[in-house]
Amino acid sequence: MQEIIAKTRTFRRFAQKEAISTAVLHELVDLARLGGSARNGQPWQYMVVNTPELCAKIFPHLAWAAYLTDWAGPAEGERPSAYVLCLLNKKWLRGSPAEAQFDLGVATQNLLLGAMEKRIGGCRIGAFSPRLAELFELPEHLSLSLLVALGKPRETVILEECRDDEDIRYWRDEHGVHHVPKRSLESCLVTLKVRQE
């Protein structure tokens, strides 16, 4: 378990020509839909995209790696070959919108873990232009909240321990290796004093 969780990193450069079939994308959505959900509302629906034409229309609306300020995002040839669009179905909303976002985190982590098992890497994209939704005839009850970009990874991503808890920015070294600092276990554990009655 530790191995697959550690391997399931965010990837942003892919072998664009390596297609991901609709059947595989459906298998991944099948994992997403099994995630825990507040009040078991399961308010998310997913649209899978894997045609080069539609992928090309989606790509310009996405923002990549805000901390890598000198990188404009994946170049032609290393862009995602598929996307999963995550759509909130307001008719299915049982709890608060915040609870729905929790559910989406759970769902997309399932999806990304399943993808990694198939050697497919992904990147959640929350930073997209509102104009992206205009590509689609969205019914009133659906709103686009997140995309998961997918492809065969063409970059190395490694975890490292944060040296400084105030600096969590990921970075890329001179060999193009992407480094992701994670807070140490020690930093993540807290012990609260129990109030005396």
**In sequence order, which residues have a C-beta less than 8 Å from that of residue 136 and are 6 or more positions away?**
47, 144
Query: Closest separation between CB of residue 12 and ligand FMN, Å?
Result: 6
Q: How far is CA 46 from the centre of its chain?
A: 13
Out of 52, 77, 97, 126, the only residue in the binding site for ligand FMN (CB under 6 A) is 126
Out of 4, 63, 75, 177, the only residue in the binding site for ligand FMN (CB under 6 A) is 63
Nearer to ligand FMN (CB atom), residue 166 or residue 197: 166
Nearer to ligand FMN (CB atom), residue 20 or residue 111: 111
**In sequence order, which residues have a C-beta less than 8 Å from that of residue 88 and are 6 or more positions away?**
43, 44, 97, 100, 104, 142, 143, 145
Residue 92 engages ligand FMN in binding (rule: CB under 6 A): no
User: Whole-angstrom Cα distance, residue 77 to residue 73?
Assistant: 12
Residue 79 engages ligand FMN in binding (rule: CB under 6 A): no
Nearer to ligand FMN (CB atom), residue 136 or residue 170: 170
Residue 85 engages ligand FMN in binding (rule: CB under 6 A): no
Out of 41, 170, 171, 179, the only residue in the binding site for ligand FMN (CB under 6 A) is 170
Number of Cβ within a 10 Å radius of residue 115 = 26
Phi and psi of 37, rounded to 5°?
Answer: -150, 130
Q: How many residues belong to the site for ligand FMN (CB under 6 A)?
A: 14
Instruction: Compute the chain's Rg from CA coordinates.
Output: 18
Out of 124, 132, 148, 150, the only residue in the binding site for ligand FMN (CB under 6 A) is 124
DSSP 21-63: -HHHHHHHHHHHTTS--GGG---EEEEEE--HHHHHHHGGGB-
Residue 148 engages ligand FMN in binding (rule: CB under 6 A): no
- Judged by the rule CB under 6 A, the positions of this chain that interact with ligand FMN are 9-10, 12, 63-65, 123-127, 157, 170, 180
